[in-house]
């Protein structure tokens, strides 16, 4: 296995990706004092253990990290080892320049191809508290070694390929987190989380597949469960939330009908108007006048 | 064929059921919405989502089940959970979300009112125990903590009044709902001045009060059209879930009591007189002009089972709450009555009746080295039922109770019904109705349609599905355990305070 430590400004190998602060694979053979002090984390750090057993602390919580576990540290969090050292073993560390101060707003930068609304969704999933560690996440190891070989092989298209792999890391991390979060849970709890996520992202063009994946279920099971629990197929439940929010905006704001339609996730004011009327008996304009 | 539609708006779902004039269930549909928990102690509902859900479910039910079979809808009867508070401005727009019964933010206001000089007379006159659940305390909280919202408020209404307003453009409140606000005089049937004075309120800040049978409201023409309802559909204002569940389980006369176990629990009786409890432990709500529903609510029923299922059981995949709880009951049969002397105090969420102590906390007592997870499970179920029994036992000081009628999704599970019979040492009856609240509402509609003369006749129409007889030997065991249960609860009141401060 090759070991390396690439840092921005020092290593030519990663100069094509200014948003990568650090990418390294380290083998620790002996414990060195003050090699890993508690410090405020810059950017978002992914630490993935290949070998050994580590005790890492994020803010006030210490995690025991085993091989194939991934630790995700956000900007500004105190991160390090309470002993100030790295234990013997091997790990990959990837640190990205990402603005994530306002926990719900992950700002990746121009290099990323993740769409605006998917980015918001990903931010929400990974900003869930107490999700600093993702146990047994081998996929991250695979992605990291792909990045490694792209960096050192420099084949055609490698600059783009690495950015794509970085996007992949965000997406796969979010997916894994939502799966973990919901495993073994009782459905009402899961549903409650979905409900919150839908409310906070009403304008996102949700598909059933996406909703299902967000809470880690297959589409068929998801649809059945939602129907049985809420009485509505997933998309109808979403329409409930959209119309409810639209009513609130119609009553309490002067915003145009088109703005309200788009804000609440209808693709046109026509679509909004038809759906609204079907349910309430009034067009949005008429409804507003009556109030 | 003529039919009656009943709409029950509870804390997490709306249930709509249609009945024919013989009282047979013809169609049923439900739709859920989320309870919102913006911060600790706060539980809210989004009024617009509740409204849209009601419309959606009603529309589907009418279009897909009622119209195709050529039924003729003669009336719609409403029911809803008690104690919600929704402040609205002068244009009828909600000022924020509705605060629901489970919300505990008004603890301090409730304590303050409880210590005031006329606390006893307020309780006696309004029938509602002074507690954070009561709109009386909630409105005081809004005045103290959100003066701006208070100032903008033109009316304080409940979720039910909001929905009825959307249907009819009128603000009206039924006696049952009014009697659960802590602001309504249940004897003289008018707003209670002493209660209004606490937050300097005027009667114009509340809806007009009417009987549960009131049918003067007119459905908005636009809504009638979009819902495909006949223009002359009667809107009967109806009552509350607690009152209607009692009626709908067939409880009306002497010797009968209802036990409800769903998310929360309650023991209720019906009678011509209010129960005057010196310690202010019981509620007295109005059902109709001559009938009061009295009893006590517990916070710690189904929700404790849910806690147990999700904290101490590994589920292979995402499971439904109902399935998880049913599995718990099955597993509990592996242990003998009395859980080998393991005892559980279920006060996870503080407690309302009979101890009315928000600081009470749960506890397992008597653990020995032979107790296994299954004993803890059975003890948990028994603890919940002991708590129900402790309410029932005090109620018996005022009313004779011979037979228990069960309602709520968990109470009527056979194993649960058996334990209730054994703990109380009384006969337990499970009715044929799946949805007692909707059925209770339907009975009001049937009285309006002239099918029954009065509530008593209506209640008698409820048929029995199963009867559970108590086993004397088990009752003996339970009586001994219950004695310890009560002693512990009494002894621990100081320790409850102490531990609550550390949480």
Query: Is residue B24 in some structural domain?
Result: yes
Question: Given pLDDT bands bounded at 50, 70 and 90, which one contains residue A218?
Answer: confident
Q: Which phi and psi (to 5°) does residue A280 adopt?
A: -100, -15
The whole-number pLDDT of residue B226 equals: 87
Stretch B84-96: mean pLDDT, rounded? 95
Residues A137 and A251 in one domain: no
Q: Is residue A185 scored above 80 in pLDDT?
A: no
Are the Cβ atoms of B46 and A244 closer than 8 angstroms? yes
- pLDDT tens digits for range B453-491: 999 999 999 999 999 999 999 999 999 999 999 999 999
A232 contacts chain B (CB < 8 A)? yes
Q: Is residue A291 scored above 80 in pLDDT?
A: no
The whole-number pLDDT of residue A99 equals: 78
Is beta strand B44-45 parallel, antiparallel or unpaired with respect to B98-99? antiparallel
Size (chain A), residues: 291
What does the buried/exposed string (b/e) look like for B258-296 if buried means 16 or more CB atoms within 10 Å of the residue's CB? bbbbbbbbbbbbbbeebbebeebbbbbbbbbeebbbbbb
Are the Cβ atoms of A281 and B226 closer than 8 angstroms? yes
Question: Given pLDDT bands bounded at 50, 70 and 90, which one contains residue B179?
Answer: very high
Calculated CA dihedral for residues B36, B37, B39, B40, nearest 10 degrees = 150
Stretch B278-303: mean pLDDT, rounded? 94
- pLDDT tens digits for range B395-412: 999 999 999 999 988 888
Residues of B in contact with A285 (CB under 8 A): none
Q: Is residue B426 scored above 80 in pLDDT?
A: yes
Are the Cβ atoms of A241 and B32 closer than 8 angstroms? no
Average pLDDT, chain B: 94
ipTM reported for the complex surpasses 0.85: no
Residues of A in contact with B309 (CB under 8 A): 186
Residues A153 and A270 in one domain: no
A210 contacts chain B (CB < 8 A)? no
The whole-number pLDDT of residue A130 equals: 59
Q: Which of B29, B32, B36, B64 to mutate to test the interface with A (most CBs of A within 10 A)?
A: B32
Helix/strand number for chain A, H first, E second: 10, 10
Number of domains in chain B: 1
Stretch B286-295: mean pLDDT, rounded? 95
Of A153, A182, A211, which marks where a domain is finished? A182
The whole-number pLDDT of residue A215 equals: 79
The whole-number pLDDT of residue A228 equals: 86
Cα separation, B455 vs B243, in Å, equals 12
Residue closest to B50 by CA, chosen among B146, B157, B177: B157
| Cα four-point dihedral sign B77, B80, B83, B85 | negative
The whole-number pLDDT of residue B393 equals: 96
Q: What secondary structure does DSSP assign to A109-121, as a single string? A: -TT----HHHHHH
Query: Is residue B457 in some structural domain?
Result: no
- B318: closest CA of chain A, how far (Å): 5
Q: Is residue B300 scored above 80 in pLDDT?
A: yes
- pLDDT tens digits for range B43-64: 999 999 999 999 999 999 999 9
Query: Is residue B135 in some structural domain?
Result: yes
Are the Cβ atoms of A247 and B321 closer than 8 angstroms? no
B22: its two tokens: 């013989």
What does the buried/exposed string (b/e) look like for B179-198 if buried means 16 or more CB atoms within 10 Å of the residue's CB? bbbbbbbbeeeebbebbbeb
Cα separation, A77 vs B380, in Å, equals 41
**In this structure, are residues B293 and B212 in contact, taking their beta carbons and an 8 Å threshold?**
no
Strand order, beta sheet including B234-240: B25-32, B13-20, B2-9, B72-80, B234-240
Are the Cβ atoms of A186 and B306 closer than 8 angstroms? yes
Residue with tokens 């073994």: A184
Of A182, A205, A234, which marks where a domain is finished? A182
Query: Is residue B155 in some structural domain?
Result: yes
A183 contacts chain B (CB < 8 A)? yes
Residues A251 and A175 in one domain: no
Q: Is residue A184 scored above 70 in pLDDT?
A: no
For the domain that residue B53 is a member of, what is the CATH number? 3.30.420.40
Q: Is residue A129 scored above 60 in pLDDT?
A: no
Across the A:B interface, residue pairs with CB atoms under 8 Å apart total 96
- pLDDT tens digits for range B93-126: 999 999 999 899 999 999 999 999 999 999 999 9
The whole-number pLDDT of residue A128 equals: 67
The whole-number pLDDT of residue B445 equals: 98
The whole-number pLDDT of residue B413 equals: 86
The whole-number pLDDT of residue A189 equals: 77
Of A136, A151, A182, which marks where a domain is finished? A182
Q: Which domain holds residue B111?
A: 2-242
Question: Given pLDDT bands bounded at 50, 70 and 90, which one contains residue A281?
Answer: confident
Stretch A89-108: mean pLDDT, rounded? 82
**In this structure, are residues A77 and A131 in contact, taking their beta carbons and an 8 Å threshold?**
no
Q: Which residues of B touch A (CB under 8 A)?
A: 13, 29-34, 46, 48-49, 51-53, 55-57, 59, 91-94, 220, 222-223, 225-227, 306, 309-310, 314-321, 324
Query: Is residue B150 in some structural domain?
Result: yes
Residues A143 and A188 in one domain: no
Q: Is residue A183 scored above 70 in pLDDT?
A: no
Stretch B149-167: mean pLDDT, rounded? 97
**In this structure, are residues B27 and A250 in contact, taking their beta carbons and an 8 Å threshold?**
no
For the domain that residue A135 is a member of, what is the CATH number? 2.60.120.10
Of residues B397 and A124, more confidence is placed in: B397
- pLDDT tens digits for range B186-240: 999 999 999 999 999 999 999 999 999 999 999 998 889 889 999 899 999 999 9
The whole-number pLDDT of residue B471 equals: 97
For the domain that residue A235 is a member of, what is the CATH number? 1.10.10.60
Number of domains in chain A: 2
Question: Given pLDDT bands bounded at 50, 70 and 90, which one contains residue A103?
Answer: low
Percent of chain A with pLDDT over 70: 96
Cα separation, A243 vs A271, in Å, equals 12
Query: Where is mean pLDDT largest: A180-184, B16-20, B38-42?
Result: B16-20
Residues A164 and A192 in one domain: no
Residue with tokens 């208070």: B150
Question: Given pLDDT bands bounded at 50, 70 and 90, which one contains residue A78?
Answer: very high
Q: Which phi and psi (to 5°) does residue B480 adopt?
A: -65, -45
Segment among A213-217, B329-333, B362-366 with least mean pLDDT: A213-217
Q: Which domain holds residue A277?
A: 184-291
Query: Is residue B93 in some structural domain?
Result: yes
């Amino acid at each position: 296995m090759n070991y390396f430590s690439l840092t921005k400004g020092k290593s030519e190998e990663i100069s094509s990706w200014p948003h990568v602060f650090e990418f390294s694979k380290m083998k620790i053979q002996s414990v060195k004092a003050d090699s890993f002090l508690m410090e405020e984390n810059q950017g978002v750090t992914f630490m993935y253990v290949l070998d050994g057993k580590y005790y890492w602390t994020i803010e006030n919580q210490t995690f025991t990290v085993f091989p194939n576990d991934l630790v995700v540290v956000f900007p500004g969090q105190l991160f390090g080892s309470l002993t100030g050292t790295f234990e013997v073993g091997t790990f990959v560390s990837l640190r990205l320049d990402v603005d994530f101060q306002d926990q719900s707003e992950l700002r990746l930068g121009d290099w990323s191809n993740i769409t605006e609304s998917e980015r918001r969704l990903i931010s929400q999933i990974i900003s869930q508290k107490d999700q600093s560690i993702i146990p047994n996440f081998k996929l991250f190891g695979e992605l990291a070694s792909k990045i490694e070989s792209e960096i050192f092989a420099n084949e055609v298209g490698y600059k783009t390929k690495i950015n794509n792999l970085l996007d992949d890391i965000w997406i796969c991390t979010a997916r894994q987190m939502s799966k973990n979060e919901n495993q073994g849970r009782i459905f009402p709890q899961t549903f409650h989380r979905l409900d919150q996520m839908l409310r906070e992202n009403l304008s996102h063009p949700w598909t059933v597949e996406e909703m299902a994946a967000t809470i880690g279920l297959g589409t068929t099971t998801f649809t059945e469960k939602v129907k049985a629990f809420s009485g509505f197929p997933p998309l109808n439940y979403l329409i409930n939330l959209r119309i409810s929010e639209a009513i609130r905006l119609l009553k309490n704001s002067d915003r145009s009908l088109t703005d309200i339609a788009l804000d609440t996730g209808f693709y046109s004011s026509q679509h909004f108007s038809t759906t609204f009327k079907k349910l309430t008996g009034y067009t949005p304009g008429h409804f507003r006048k009556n109030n | 064929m003529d039919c009656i539609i009943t709409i029950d708006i509870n804390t997490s779902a709306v249930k709509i059921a249609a009945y024919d004039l013989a009282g047979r269930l013809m169609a049923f549909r439900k739709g859920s919405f989320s309870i919102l928990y913006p911060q600790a102690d706060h539980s809210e509902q989004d009024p617009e989502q509740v409204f849209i859900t009601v419309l959606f479910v009603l529309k589907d039910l009418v279009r897909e089940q009622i119209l195709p079979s050529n039924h003729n809808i003669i009336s719609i009867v409403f029911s809803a959970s008690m104690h919600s508070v929704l402040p609205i401005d002068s244009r009828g727009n909600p000022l924020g979300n509705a605060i629901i019964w489970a919300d505990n933010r008004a603890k301090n206001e409730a304590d303050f009112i409880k210590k005031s000089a006329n606390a006893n007379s307020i309780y006696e006159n309004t029938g509602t125990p002074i507690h954070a659940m009561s709109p009386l305390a909630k409105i005081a909280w809004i005045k103290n903590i959100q003066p701006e919202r208070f100032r903008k408020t033109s009316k304080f209404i409940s979720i039910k009044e909001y929905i009825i307003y959307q249907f009819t453009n009128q603000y009206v409140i039924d006696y049952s709902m009014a009697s659960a606000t802590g602001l309504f005089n249940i004897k003289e049937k008018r707003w209670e001045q002493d209660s209004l004075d606490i937050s300097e309120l005027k009667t114009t800040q509340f809806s007009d009060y009417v009987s549960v049978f009131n049918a003067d409201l007119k459905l908005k023409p636009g809504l009638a059209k979009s819902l495909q309802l006949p223009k002359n559909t009667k809107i009967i204002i109806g009552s509350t879930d607690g009152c209607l569940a009692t009626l709908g389980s067939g409880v009306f006369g002497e010797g009968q009591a209802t036990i409800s176990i769903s998310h929360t629990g309650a023991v209720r009786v019906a009678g011509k007189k209010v129960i005057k409890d010196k310690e202010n432990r019981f509620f007295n709500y109005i059902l109709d002009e001559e009938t009061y529903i009295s009893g006590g609510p517990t916070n710690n029923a189904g929700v404790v089972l849910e806690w147990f299922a999700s904290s101490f059981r590994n589920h292979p995949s995402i499971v439904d709450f109902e399935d998880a709880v049913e599995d718990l009951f099955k597993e509990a049969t592996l242990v003998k009555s009395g859980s080998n002397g393991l005892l559980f105090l279920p006060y996870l969420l503080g407690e309302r009746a009979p101890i009315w102590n928000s600081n009470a906390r749960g506890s397992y007592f008597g653990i020995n080295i032979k107790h296994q997870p299954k004993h803890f499970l059975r003890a948990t179920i028994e603890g919940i039922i002991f708590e129900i029994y402790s309410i029932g036992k005090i109620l018996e000081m005022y009313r004779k109770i011979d037979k228990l009628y069960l309602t709520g999704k968990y109470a009527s599970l056979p194993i649960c019904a058996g334990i209730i019979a054994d703990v109380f040492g009384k006969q337990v009856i499970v009715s044929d109705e799946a949805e007692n609240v909707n059925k209770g509402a339907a009975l009001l509609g049937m009285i309006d349609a002239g099918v029954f003369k009065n509530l008593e006749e209506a209640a008698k129409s409820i048929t029995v599905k199963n009867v559970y007889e108590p086993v004397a030997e088990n009752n003996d065991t339970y009586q001994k355990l219950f004695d310890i249960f009560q002693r512990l609860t009494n002894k621990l009141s100081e320790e409850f305070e102490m531990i609550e401060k550390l949480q």
